Amino acid sequence: MAHESQVAIVPGSFDPVTVGHVDLIERAARLFDRVIVAVLTNSAKQPFFSVEDRVAMLCDVFKGRAGIDVDTFGGLLVDYARAKQARVVVRGVRGVPEFDAETQMALMNRRLNPDIETVFVTPSETTGYVSSHLVREIAALGGSVDGLVPPIVVDRLAVRRRKSTLRQV
């Protein structure tokens, strides 16, 4: 039987992309033929980086990486997945509270479209504590984010901090 190419979506805010996201995306790329990293455009949350900046950072991190594409989406995730002919959504689950929230989202997405399966991936033991939220907080307070985000993101966070420090003087 011919192998049907399996497309998986890794959706998220990626505000900004962390080493935890990179680990998750690389794990997804080992499981599926093609991975689409999809940045949500119409989040209710006030973003730290613009969608364009977040996409640019992700593209930089995965440039030349066969089988991994970066895209944006708005509206329902299941509608986007259907449009991309993807039957799988991959989410990283770092702990129990996240498992609860992710299970709720996975079940809601299944209700919306039973053809789409959500796959939970366990993070690396070295990146499982990293989150975009903590990275933003550390960067804003002048702490080092080296090793928590890809080097391009370290640079962008430093630029952001310099700009906000300049605005304060």
Instruction: Provide the binding-site residues for ligand PNS, judged by CB under 6 A.
Output: 11-13, 40, 76-77, 105, 108-109
132 in catalytic set: yes
CB of 12 or CB of 123, closer to ligand PNS: 12
Closest residue to bound ligand PNS by CB: 12
Residues 6+ apart with CB under 8 A from 129: 94
Taken as a whole, the chain contains a residue count of: 169
CA-to-CA separations, 109 to 82, 89, 126, 150, in angstroms, rounded: 12, 10, 30, 31
What type of residue sits at position 152?
Answer: I
Judge whether 21 counts as a catalytic residue. Answer: yes
Cβ closer to ligand PNS: 108 or 140? Answer: 108
Mapped onto helix, strand or coil, the DSSP state of residue 44 is: coil
Q: For residue 130, with 0-12 CB atoms within 10 Å meaning exposed, 13-18 middle and 19 or more buried, which class applies?
A: buried
11 vs 16, beta carbon nearer ligand PNS: 11
What's the closest the beta carbon of residue 132 comes to ligand PNS, in angstroms?
Answer: 7
| Catalytic annotation, pick one of 45, 63, 111, 167 | 45
- The residues annotated as belonging to the active site are 21, 45, 94, 132
